[in-house]
Structure 1
Amino acid sequence: MSQQQYLQQLRTLKLSGMTQSLELQWSQPQTYDDLGFDERVGIMINHELTSRANKRLQRLLKAARFKEDSRVENIDYAHPRGLKKSQVANLLTGEWIGKKQNLMITGPTGCGKTYLACAIGHHACHHDYSVRYYRASRLFESLTISHGDGRYLKLINQMAKADLLIIDDWGLETLTQSQRNDLLEIMEDRHGSKSTIVTSQLPMTKWHTYIGDATLADAILDRLLHNAHKLQLKGESMRKAMSSLTEDEHMV
């Protein structure tokens, strides 16, 4: 059997990592000829495992649909907003996701809530957790539309299966009765089985009023808050500070 036939069979078996590794070994014989059979097979297997891990990561990142391409290594701790490295380091262990706990991030506009949530979500993807990101307004809009086109159960099930659900900009618009019911459905599905991040400009003391219906608010917040970690950010807008810096630079 020719080399091309071997490669084609590996592709048929969807072993792309091993295919690339074997092609490399054949194209650079001087590098691999001194290695034993077991070592060369081991290299091919490691290439395959690495290839599959990279492809899965790309699928997870694509499915998450993060608003920002955030990285935990780029989180700004110098800006005075009350964010401590120790708090973030504790969250990055992923233990809270393993325990199906939640994370609430509150603070004024521009203090980096979205960036922080997306960075934590991005980090979770790298540790093989499935993540879904939604702005609250678009989440409720999608749910409303799904009631009419028959996709509601599919959408709800997708959110229920995600290891980490991020709901960003919570509390900007008053909820309708239908949205309250949808929110309770989501929290009921995830309570004790998956983790949720919520970011909001509203202090948590006002969330009950924001939801509106006292009975539903009690049920939703009980499921959301009772096992939640809380980050309360403060200070001036980081976007405003960066904008001022840019203006100064332009004046130089």
Structure 2
Amino acid sequence: MTSRFQELMNNLEQLRLTKMSAYLPEYLDQINGKQLSFTEAMLNLTKAELDWRQGEHVDRIIKRARFPQVKLLKAFDFDFQPSVNRQLVMSFQDLAFLEKHENLIFIGSPGVGKTHLAIGVGIAACQQNKRTLFVNCHELLLRLGAAYKKGTLDRCIRRYARYDLLIIDEIGYLPIDHDEANLLFQLINARYEVHSTIITSNSELSTWVEIFQNPTVTSAILDRLVHRAHVIKITGKSYRLKQQN
């Protein structure tokens, strides 16, 4: 015959109260030993369950954001990159820039940590339940171009425009032709003063006209990106070279 305890455990499992089920025996011992009251034990059990569910929820949001790897801001070596304003960058975790629809632009040579910082801010956004997407610039342009050819560009742009935070990585690593520049402009324009975008680039903004090969489109893109933006220039050495030494 199934004991009352086993019946309770089965009920918790059917209700998918995973952590309550896992911790219940421990708390029953504390209740029986009069170390905790029933109310205190239940409070702790429900907190454990809620914390676990929140963690699972955040993990799903992070997975959907498609980061190439998980990197936290606290793991960034600010001592190795003294040109980066630690206080400013760490303040991005409170997401005030998202509420103001401001953009972040990280500029620097390859290997200085631009993508790490962008991912770190993105992780912070996910932890606060913000819809976030990380995408390489070249991959983004391929998707936009394919949507244009299929006649679904408007729908594609609306999808990207809905994200609370869109991270576009590595603008400038590969050349961008006239048509691609126009597609990127349409996306940036759709997000302008509605949602925030993070950009990483190895090129100074003044040289973007060489990347986009169109002064008019370049000016329009920069006008919307920089209007409300924090531009963080990283002038230090490459982490990759540091690791090789």
Q: Please list the CA deviations of residues 40-60 of structure 1 after superposition, one character each: whole Å capped at 9, or x if unmatched.
A: 432343233212211111111
Whether the aligned pair in 2 keeps the contact of 1:25 and 1:32 (CA below 8 Å) is no
Q: How does 1:75-90 map to 2 (within 5 A)?
A: 75-80=76-81, 82-90=83-91
Q: Which residue of 2 aligns with 1:31?
A: 30
* Partner SS state of residue 74, structure 2: helix
Task: Please state if 1:41 is matched with 2:42.
Answer: yes
* Partner SS state of residue 193, structure 1: coil
* Partner SS state of residue 41, structure 1: helix
For 1:114 and 1:195, locate their aligned partners in 2 and report how far apart those are by CA, in whole Å.
16
AA matched with 1:31: Q
Task: Please state if 1:21 is matched with 2:20.
Answer: yes
- What is the CA distance between 1:118 and its match in structure 2? 1.4
* Partner SS state of residue 110, structure 2: coil
Give the structure-2-normalised TM-score. Answer: 0.84
Between stretches 213-222 and 145-154, larger displacement belongs to 145-154
Q: Which residue of 1 aligns with 2:119?
A: 118
- What is the CA distance between 1:233 and its match in structure 2? 0.9
For 1:158 and 1:32, locate their aligned partners in 2 and report how far apart those are by CA, in whole Å.
52
Q: Which residue of 2 aligns with 1:172?
A: 173
- What is the CA distance between 1:127 and its match in structure 2? 2.6
For 1:3 and 1:185, locate their aligned partners in 2 and report how far apart those are by CA, in whole Å.
61
Q: Which residue of 2 aligns with 1:223?
A: 224
- What is the CA distance between 1:9 and its match in structure 2? 5.4
Instruction: Quickly say closer, same or farther: Cα 1:25–1:88, change in 2 above 3 A.
Output: same
Q: How does 1:1-252 map to 2 (within 5 A)?
A: 15-16=15-16, 18-22=17-21, 24-26=23-25, 29-33=28-32, 34=34, 35-80=36-81, 82-148=83-149, 152-153=153-154, 155-243=156-244, 245=245
For 1:186 and 1:10, locate their aligned partners in 2 and report how far apart those are by CA, in whole Å.
47
- What is the CA distance between 1:209 and its match in structure 2? 4.1
Aligned residues: 241
Identity of aligned residues (%): 27
Instruction: Quickly say closer, same or farther: Cα 1:79–1:26, change in 2 above 3 A.
Output: closer
AA matched with 2:205: M
Whether the aligned pair in 2 keeps the contact of 1:211 and 1:217 (CA below 8 Å) is yes
AA matched with 1:58: D
- What is the CA distance between 1:96 and its match in structure 2? 1.1
Q: Please list the CA deviations of residues 204-224 of structure 1 after superposition, one character each: whole Å capped at 9, or x if unmatched.
A: 112244323333333222211
- Gaps of at least 5 residues in structure 1 are 246-252
For 1:139 and 1:200, locate their aligned partners in 2 and report how far apart those are by CA, in whole Å.
15
For 2:156 and 2:5, locate their aligned partners in 1 and report how far apart those are by CA, in whole Å.
46
Instruction: Quickly say closer, same or farther: Cα 1:122–1:19, change in 2 above 3 A.
Output: closer
For 1:181 and 1:6, locate their aligned partners in 2 and report how far apart those are by CA, in whole Å.
61
* Partner SS state of residue 43, structure 1: helix
